[in-house]
Amino acid sequence: MAVSTSSVSSSPPQLATLKSKAPSGEQWIHEIKYDGYRVQIHLNRGKKNAYTRNGLDWTKRFSTIAGAFDIPGRAIIDGEVVVVRDGRTNFSELQAELAAGRQDRLEYYVFDLLWLDGEDLRKRPQLERKRLLRELFDEHSIEQPIHFSEYLIGDGQRMFEHAARLNFEGIISKRTDARYRSDRNEAWFEIKTVQRGEFPVVGFVKDPSGVAALYLGKREGKELIYMGKVGTGWNRTISAQIRKQLETVVSLRSKFTKPVRKLKATWVEPYFVAEIEYRDITWEGLLRVL
């Protein structure tokens, strides 16, 4: 019995489980992890809609992408809306484009096909869905700003190491025989790369025994700019030790070049640095931490 398109539209997307190492073997395919907004495109005999990961109708925001699909029948396509800069997706610039209401730099990487002309494809194996998606691209000559998400079979760790060298966010590994499930499960794995850097500590938020968070800066020439607040992630003993050190360099006001108002902050001289793992720097100039 056929499933209606309305039942598919209410289904959340499949999500990946975070792993520290990529799997290998012929039962896995591996794709680049795109740093953007997860979006499903719903096509229904000329009507085109775009839905976010949480089911919000963002067709107006992504009208250029939805309109680029010249497919006469019905289909539901899963992918990621991105902005590409210097050969890789850039989430910060995507945020800036959307905040400004622009669409000319938006691109859409398609990696799954959930529905096609009356058939619910979610029960079919992953590799078969990829094949059908590739055939759909070829049949209808789908072009920019739409892209087919290419994949490799086999050694995921080698692909991950290559992705890390190119400064991509990471990879997604998917079981070739798995059906599409609207939850977070072991059929999809995500393996993320990280960036590391040292940032001057310019303030902290107190908790009863130590510090609840740190305010960080960055030196650019003679200027000290604000880079955001991060949670410590340390145990109570280390937290107390950090607070003891920071209280030796307390300042009456922040040392940022431009004023930053934080009511809970205890400002300090930027004498100590913190080594931080982070994903990216947002369009607002703040650290996007893990």
28-37: pLDDT as tens digits: 999 999 999 9
| pTM of the full structure | 0.74
- What tokens appear for 80 in the block? 């990621």
What residue ranges define each of the domains in the chain, with the CATH number in brackets?
7-192 (3.30.470.30), 195-289 (2.40.50.140)
- What tokens appear for 7 in the block? 């039942």
Average pLDDT over residues 247-259: 92
**Residues belonging to the active site:** 33
Tell me: pLDDT of 4 over 50.
no
Q: Are 108 and 147 in contact (CB under 8 A)?
A: yes
Q: How far apart are CA 78 and CA 52, in angstroms?
A: 10
**Residue 132 host element (H or E):** helix 126-140
How crowded is residue 103: how many other Cβ atoms within 10 Å of its Cβ?
17
DSSP 8-state secondary structure symbol assigned to residue 57: B
- What tokens appear for 8 in the block? 């598919």
Q: Which range has the top average pLDDT, 3-7, 88-92, 206-210, 268-272?
A: 268-272
CA 265 to chain centre: 30
Give the mean pLDDT of the chain: 90
- Of the candidates 121, 133, 152, the residue with the CA atom closest to the CA atom of residue 8: 121
Average pLDDT over residues 83-111: 91
